[in-house]
Amino acid sequence: MDTIIKKINPCQMSYLRISVDDFIKQYNDGECELIDIRLPFEVARWQLNFGIIMPTSELPERLDELPKDKLLVIACPLSERANMVSFYLKTQGFNAKYLMGGMIDLMDRLKGGKAKDLKINI
Amino acid sequence: MTIKTPEFDRYLQSFDYQERKDMKIHLEECLEMYAKGEIQLIDIRFQEEFDAWNIGFGDHIPLHKIPDRLDEIDSSKTIVTMCPHYDRAEIARLYLKLNGYNARYLTCGMLGIVDFLRGDKARDYMLKLTKEKNNGYYY
């Protein structure tokens, strides 16, 4: 963990986070997966129709359910908890980044006809 | 590369609605507690950013230097980390929390502080800090 912290430098914040537009592009190309890490009551209220739901508190026990070959894009409503979890996943050997602007910005981006920008397999 | 992080595992497993609140501190409470000397306020931005502007109170320890400078952190106080918004402050808060400190991050960031401390509010707050330091007397 010390190593990861010391590695952070001004030009490399992209090492930690991904923008909504980059997420959409990489998701469509099959290069990343979205992980919703909100707590159960929050998920029960509303959820996205793609990605993997994995509450923060269950995550350490369920790591084997996460794809190893993709970038994991961690999301919460804004970005503070996603930041923490993405950090954790990095320590566990995953390629993880948090979604800048969070699920709220992503939903805002997928408005109207733009919702079709994200290719979801339903 | 996998790093064993038992304390991180335990922290996430116990993460609940209460901790979701406790990890943060809002501006008003932060300024109040800082004036009373209950908080160590740490600007965790890079040196270049600090050189460009700073808020004139609190300490400065760049995020990537924190692991080597833990001896400058006062474990008897609540540690409040801050950066322009809150992304990096949250990483710093998490690191300190996992190292046993009582750490929170400032939700509004330093931009929130400078936006709030304008005009008479800046004057009043800085006077308040001086007063607390001098046991209730202005000098």
3-class SS at B41?
Answer: strand
Q: Do B90 and A16 touch (CB under 8 A)?
A: no
pLDDT value at residue A14: 79
- Closest approach of chain A CAs to the CA of B125, in angstroms? 28
Domains belonging to chain A, first-starting first, are 2-117 (3.40.250.10)
Is domain B21-131 classified as CATH 3.40.250.10? yes
Contact call for residues A56 and A85 (beta carbons, < 8 A): yes
Chain A residues with CB-CB distance to B8 below 8 A: 1, 88, 91
CB count, 10 Å around CB of B65?
15
In tens, the pLDDT along A60-103 reads: 999 999 999 999 999 999 988 999 999 999 999 999 999 999 99
Half-sphere exposure of B79 (CA within 13 A, CB side): 28
> Does B12 contact A17 at a Cβ distance shorter than 8 Å?
no
Query: Is residue A122 over pLDDT 70?
Result: no
B78-109: per-residue pLDDT in tens? 999 999 999 999 999 999 999 999 999 999 99
b/e code B111-133 from CB counts within 10 Å (16+ = b): ebbeeebeeeeeeebeebbeeee
CB contact under 8 A, B20 and A39: yes
Q: Which residue of B has its CA nearest to A63?
A: B9
| β strands within chain A, DSSP E | 17-18, 32-36, 52-53, 71-75, 96-99
Q: Give percent of chain A above pLDDT 90.
A: 75
Least CB–CB distance from A60: residue in B13, B23, B67: B13
What is this model's ipTM? 0.76
- What is the length of chain B? 139
